[in-house]
Structure 1
Amino acid sequence: MTDTFQTQGRGQRYDDITRTVGDTPCVKLNRIAPDHVEVYVKIESFNPLGSVKDRLALNIIEAAERSGQLKPGQTVVEATSGNTGIGLAMVCAARGYPLVITMADSFSIERRRLMRFLGAKVVLTPKAEKGIGMYRKARQLAADNGWFFAAQFESNANADIHEATTGPEIVADFADSRLDYWVSGYGTGGTVSGVARVLRKARPECKIILSEPHTATLIGSGEAQDRNDDGSPNGSHPAWSPHLIQGWTPDFIPLVLQESIDHNGFDEVRPVDAEDGMIWAKRLATEEGILTGVSGGSTLATAMEVAADAEAGSVILVMLPDTGERYLSTPLFEAIPAEMTPEEQALADS
């Protein structure tokens, strides 16, 4: 056995796939981080279906089962850019619930194919209707058919699971270390709202840095979201424009995210360009051997900006929400050939 091999020290038998959600690793970056700081990444692709959204998918279903909102065999419906839908497809397959997903047709093809492979039905909504369009379609289907609307953008179960799992995991992993910055993007806002509840109490010295697309500065604009009486969004946010960071920043401010806006859930919000995110995702893969998507690369790009100005010895933790395999049909992989390059062909012919 080599010195680098270490067992996890826990059993590997589980009653079903949903029991494997959580306990994702924090891994130090050794080749691309600036020398004066330590940078770690929390790799959420270690969840069973490859993203941080496995956590909220499980908790939304289990909370609805406990409350009686979700009946045995009842259909679940949700609006998603893909990762929540994939997580829900896993949980619903394991628990025996039919699942219908609404998703704008602009999101990557592999996401809808994965959900269908897991047994879900995927209803596509027009790109022009943006995130609010798929959200309204899911609400309509739930109301018309008596289905359970998972409501990830509003459900308390979303942030609660990060308060119960993600936050304590971070605190435990850095119990004997500095933790000066935690950097995250946002989609529903569940990760930041839930983790902030924990870090504000357990590690108040840790600065929480949020990142959002430079063309969709919902928080950075300072403009409030127009809402209906029930708290649901009433149309698109005026600061939103299309961007390439799938899963981030829908065209409305989710109610789950509003908690962080209203209650000091972050210290700073920084805009990021998706092109920079793709550069850092590629560097992370080729120089550290860690695979993430555009959202993870964009979070890392923001963290590297923070690192440049950070005090020597600072420790920075970066959330990587999903795996790069969700982006094979997107610009992230556009320059990666499927056939042999001339150099590879020369090796084949030698």
Structure 2
Amino acid sequence: MPLFDSILDTVGRTPIVKLHRLAPKHVSLYVKVESFNPGGSVKDRLALAVVLDAEAKGLLKPGDTIAECTSGNVGIALAMVAAARGYKFVAVMSDSYSIERRKLIRAYGGKVILFPAELGSSGGNKIADELAAKHGWFRARQFDNPANPAYHRETTAAEILSDFAGKRLDYFVTGFGTTGTLTGVGQMLKLARPSVRVVAAEPANAAVLAGKAWSVHQIQGWAPDFVPSVLDATVIDELRPIDEVVGRNTARRLAAEEGIFAGISAGATVATALDVAQNAAEGSVILAMLPDTGERYLSTFLLEGMNEGSDDEWLAGLSASEALLSPA
């Protein structure tokens, strides 16, 4: 293992792991586990890309403040990058996003400003714009910044192509958030592996890419109430809506059956991949993105209803079963 000059040098090169219990037997389903990034999500790539690009253009100098409207993962990532590079950070976030996200941003030294969820990402972006203009802060503009998909072309896509070099790959499944991953990886796959079908997943109750109405949903990090300008829609071969409860339940299954504790959007992506697998040809290989860890969803409906105390009823039932098996 090499020595690293900065925590930011560890961003990327996340593992691709095969699932053994969730996938039907006639396909191979792999997941790219982005929680292995130092900030715990795929958005570490975006944050680093945006900051390095701004530095190269002379838009940031030590001590400056970075501001962004974020569902949380970008905020956490930007707070981490800001701390490592000597900047301040302010997150403008919907009040519907998890407590864990707010605390993680603050742990990295960032500030959090909340707005009502009903305003959507467009409303949050307006607030961030106004604050940045008033205080002279740098706006990361994740939905419009070309550095976002560019970094995914250079890193995420390159990693996937390297890991699958000489191997079969039929489907790439990812969610709709900033569309940086979708666009960057999709563009490179279309160039290097044009036979790979790119499947974009979005919440059934906020299917903006499909032209339907947006509403507040529980797949945090997915589906703002607009289509990001960085999206290259030509890379999408298929759009698939996914129910948020199905996504949540699949995330739970990932943890309990595969030992991978991932977030709600990861569960929704895998649920979409499982849907794709149902009609996929024998021997098909599917790769799904897992954007983050489940540890930033402990207070959300991901673990809703889960026991927080002692498993006394389970133990009592186990004892009763053992008593039935004991000799008289």
Q: Normalising by structure 1, what TM-score? A: 0.89
CA distance, structure 1, for counterparts of residue 156 and residue 303 of structure 2? 29
User: 1:345: how far off?
Assistant: 5.2
CA distance in 2: counterparts of 1:106 and 1:174, whole angstroms: 38
Cα distance per residue 1:227-264 (max 9 Å; x no partner):
xxxxxxxxxxx71011110000011111112xx22xx1
Task: Report the counterpart of residue 169 of structure 2 in structure 1.
Answer: 179
Say yes or no: does 1:321 pair with 2:311: no
Structure 2: distance between partners of 1:267 and 1:253: 17
CA RMSD of aligned residues (A): 1.4
Q: Could you report, residue by residue, the CA deviation over 1:43-65 in whole angstroms, capped at 9, with x for unpaired residues?
A: 00000011000000001000000
User: Superposed, which structure 2 residues align to 1:246-325 within 5 Å?
Assistant: 246-257=220-231, 260-261=232-233, 264-325=234-295
Instruction: Judge which range, 132-141 or 204-213, deviates more.
Output: 132-141
Between stretches 12-21 and 311-320, larger displacement belongs to: 12-21
Secondary structure of 2:205's counterpart equals coil
Aligned partners of 1:161 and 1:194 also within 8 Å: yes
The one of 213, 218, 242 aligned to 1:244: 218
Unaligned runs of 5+ in 2: 323-328
Counterparts of 1:26 and 1:181 in 2: how far apart (Å)? 14
3-state SS, counterpart of residue 223 of structure 2: coil
Alignment match, 1:70: 60
User: AA paired with 2:41?
Assistant: S
* Aligned partner letter, 1:76: I
Aligned mate of 1:146, from 136, 140, 146: 136
CA distance in 2, matches of 1:57, 1:39: 28
Deviation at 1:343, TM superposition (A): 3.8
Q: Are 1:203 and 2:193 counterparts?
A: yes
Rounded Cα–Cα distance in structure 1 between residues aligned with 2:314 and 2:82: 44
The residue aligned with 1:235 is none
Contact 2:117 2:216 in 1 (8 A): no
Q: Secondary structure at the match of 1:42?
A: strand
- The one-letter code of the counterpart of 2:31 is V
Question: What corresponds to 1:220 in structure 2?
Answer: 210
Q: Verify: 1:52 aligned to 2:52, yes or no.
A: no
Q: Report sequence identity in percent.
A: 54
Residue type matched to 1:277 in 2? G
Unaligned runs of 5+ residues in structure 1 are 1-10, 222-237
Note if contact 2:118-2:216 (Cα within 8 Å) is conserved in structure 1.
no
Match for residue 325 of structure 2? Answer: none
Q: For residue 215 of structure 1, give the secondary structure of its aligned residue in structure 2.
A: helix
Aligned pairs, number: 319
Q: TM-score, normalised by structure 2?
A: 0.95
**Of 64, 69, 80, which residue of structure 2 is paired with 1:90?**
80
Contact 2:65 2:90 in 1 (8 A): yes
- Counterpart residue number, 2:180: 190
